[in-house]
Structures are given as C-alpha cells and as structure tokens.
C-alpha cells in the first residue's frame, strides 16, 4: 500500500496565484510521487488532510 506523504515547495514552484497573495511556500499530499491534493497554504492543513486520507484509506 502506498504511503501518503507531505511535500513542500518554495519560491517559483509555488503556483502564481498563491505567490500573488504573498505566499512563498505551499504543501501538497503525494502518493507514489504523484500529487493527490491541490496546493495547501499551511503545513497544519496538509497534516490534517493527510490524516483524513490515511483514515479513509484504512476504513475503505
């Protein structure tokens, strides 16, 4: 079973719309190297979503 991981990106890797809002970093959930979430604006948000995804995976 693939593990969900949190990936952070900084600088020019951050989507332009977020950089325009002043964010210089964002986070994605990834599984097998592929993003499974859109850009998240905080690490706590990424951690919470990661827990939800992991919980749904085990109960599915």
**pLDDT tens string 13-54:** 999 999 999 999 999 999 998 999 999 999 999 999 999 998
Q: Residue 32 is encoded by which pair of tokens? A: 């097998």
Residue 57 exposure: Cα atoms within 13 Å on the Cβ side: 11
Q: How confident is the model at residue 56 (pLDDT cuts 50, 70, 90)?
A: confident
The model's pTM: 0.85
Query: What pLDDT does residue 55 have?
Result: 84
Query: Which string of b and e fits 49-59 if b means at least 16 CB within 10 Å?
Result: bbeeeeeeeee
């Amino acid at each position: 079973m693939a593990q969900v991981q949190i990936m952070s990106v900084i600088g020019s890797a951050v989507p332009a719309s977020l950089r325009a809002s002043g964010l210089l970093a964002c986070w994605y959930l990834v599984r097998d190297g592929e993003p499974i979430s859109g850009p998240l604006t905080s690490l706590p948000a990424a951690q919470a979503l990661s827990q939800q995804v992991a919980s749904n995976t085990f109960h599915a």
